Structure 1
Amino acid sequence: MKKYALLFFVLISFSGYAQNTINNYKYVLVPEKFSFLKQANQYRLNTLAKALLEEKGFTVYYDNSELPQEIANNKCTALNVEVLEKKSMFSTNLTLLLKDCQNNVVFKSKEGKSREKEFSTSYNLALRDAFTSLEEVPYAYVAGNNEVKTAIVTVAPPVPPASSVPATQTAAPVALPAAASVVPVVNASGTLYAQATANGYQLIDTTPKKVLTLFKTSVQDCFIADNGTANGIVLKKNGEWYFEYYKDGSLTAEKLSIKF
């Protein structure tokens, strides 16, 4: 009897945990400063975490920014990001946690590591390494029950029959969804030359000076990119290379000429 009781308890516990997955969440909140750092967005880790979560498909906000009403009214609709550091003399070790509003861990990454000596590079590489665990987890947001019910009871306005429109009257054009906003493109000056590295490439100009660092992803012709002041992605579209990143809250794209 004790064995059956124990088995029942384990199954109930596992079922409760399995239901609390990242697929239940559309939003993620990133802190302005991680607890192990001394300054807000030090080494641009918070910016990097936000960019990588958005690349995964989440809608991400900084926790100190103005939040949408849906999150402001109920913080339990969003996951919270926490990054832990394990102290070591010879390497940087970071672990990514995604927690719910009750501080329960919904996702825990592997321990990302880097042995680079420069702090900025080492912390960035360690966090990217930790995020590879999240890349391996499928994510597709599943709306909650309330949202599903709302969708079911919403009734579209009736369309008048064709015969009700006089022959001499011209039918009004059908309203189409607004097109996505056009991203301004800046043409970068000069050709950049790609030099292979352990994790991707570094792009240098004719000076020579390093302009961009590219990190490989699982997607062909798409790299995580860092130019020292901004983090984003470098990708190939219609045979052309572009560096896309956020500047002052707006998406910016630079057209690049790269020789591999």
Structure 2
Amino acid sequence: MKRYFLLIFVFISISGYAQNNLNNYRYIIVPKKFSFFKEEDQYKLNTLSKALLEAKGFTVYFDNRELPDDIAANKCKALSYELQERKTMFATNLTFSLKDCKGNVLYKSKEGKSREKDFRASYTLALRDAFEPFNEVQYVYTAPAEATVQQQSNIQNAVTTSASTPVPQTASEPSAAVSETLYAQPTTNGYQLIDTTPKVVLTLLKTSVEDYFIGSTSISNGIVFKKNDSWIFEYYTNGKLISKKLLIKF
């Protein structure tokens, strides 16, 4: 029973998590000057950041350049890149993060370190060290158009049924396991489940409870947990709680 209430708590806590998926974003904006430096692109660290992000498949722009019309019209289509330095006497320590337009952190790197005495070499090595786990993240851009269509459908359904008598929602019995096996690839904060294409189908973020994950697709968000040796993905669609079995290979 305690685990069930924890399940509900986790589910509620992620209700605003719809955008916390890197696959929903194509663009990243990198500042031309970092706050802890006096000069633009000092030690070429901004250029290196841009190159490392582009190597993952993102389209990256400096903040002092003219942006494409679709980003200029809607800044929420792009993520912001921030780099922080933790000062110590004998080492360079760098951490970067990716934030959405509301300031939510979608990704935060490990702390990259270097003890090189040459400043340029030290900053370069520390940044590359911070990017190492990020390079293992399976990024595949997924256009959020389907999510928009789903949201519009949800609104229409809500209007149509607004006069109906409310009925308490209960979870349906888990549907039969999906026919296709999903393969779990480790990430910094959990796993990404891919099919044989390979395409990222579901992103899992770890929680403090064993075998409980925050699950996110391009159009839905919920929880993934283990029950009776089966993996279950639960999420809401049109106000109805959906429960699906998943076949996952870790």
Q: TM-score range by the shorter chain?
A: 0.5 to 0.7
Whose RCO is larger (CA < 8 A, sep 6+)? Answer: 2
Name the CA distance, whole Å, in 1 between partners of 2:17 and 2:90: 36
Matched residue, 1:80: 80
Supply the RMSD in Å over aligned alpha carbons.
2.2
Three-state SS of the structure 1 residue aligned to 2:111 is strand
Name the CA distance, whole Å, in 2 between partners of 1:135 and 1:18: 23
Name the CA distance, whole Å, in 1 between partners of 2:134 and 2:15: 21
Deviations, residues 186-235 of structure 1 (Å, cap 9, x unaligned): xxxxxxxxxxxxxxxxxxxxxxxxxxxxxxxxxxxxxxxxxxxxxxxxxx
Give aligned pairs, total. Answer: 149
Tell me the TM-score normalised to structure 1 length.
0.53
Matched residue, 2:96: 96
The aligned amino acid for 1:75 is: K
Three-state SS of the structure 1 residue aligned to 2:83 is strand
Name the CA distance, whole Å, in 1 between partners of 2:57 and 2:74: 21
Matched residue, 2:38: 38
Three-state SS of the structure 1 residue aligned to 2:29 is strand
Counterpart check, 1:47 vs 2:47 = yes
Matched residue, 2:122: 122
Three-state SS of the structure 2 residue aligned to 1:110 is coil
The aligned amino acid for 1:29 is: I
The CA deviation at 1:148 is: 8.0
Give % identity: 64
Name the CA distance, whole Å, in 2 between partners of 1:118 and 1:15: 47
Deviations, residues 2-34 of structure 1 (Å, cap 9, x unaligned): 875543121232464475111110000000111
The CA deviation at 1:78 is: 0.3
Deviations, residues 69-126 of structure 1 (Å, cap 9, x unaligned): 0000000000000001111111100001001011110000100000000110100110
Matched residue, 2:63: 63
Name the CA distance, whole Å, in 1 between partners of 2:19 and 2:141: 13
The CA deviation at 1:145 is: 2.0
The CA deviation at 1:147 is: 8.9
Name the CA distance, whole Å, in 2 between partners of 1:19 and 1:11: 15
Cα distance change, pair 137–112 in 1 and its aligned pair in 2 (3 A): same
Name the CA distance, whole Å, in 1 between partners of 2:18 and 2:146: 20
Stretches of structure 2 that go unaligned for 5 or more consecutive residues are 150-250
Stretches of structure 1 that go unaligned for 5 or more consecutive residues are 150-260
Matched residue, 2:202: none
User: After superposition, where does 1:1-260 map in structure 2 within 5 Å?
Assistant: 4-14=4-14, 16-17=16-17, 20-145=20-145
Name the CA distance, whole Å, in 1 between partners of 2:42 and 2:22: 27
Tell me the TM-score normalised to structure 2 length.
0.55
The CA deviation at 1:55 is: 0.6
Name the CA distance, whole Å, in 2 between partners of 1:135 and 1:118: 25
The aligned amino acid for 1:40 is: E
Name the CA distance, whole Å, in 1 between partners of 2:146 and 2:99: 22
Name the CA distance, whole Å, in 1 between partners of 2:147 and 2:57: 19
Task: Indicate the structure (1 or 2) with the bigger Cα radius of gyration.
Answer: 1
Name the CA distance, whole Å, in 1 between partners of 2:37 and 2:66: 24
Deviations, residues 45-71 of structure 1 (Å, cap 9, x unaligned): 000000011111000000110110000
Cα distance change, pair 80–19 in 1 and its aligned pair in 2 (3 A): closer
Name the CA distance, whole Å, in 1 between partners of 2:5 and 2:147: 37
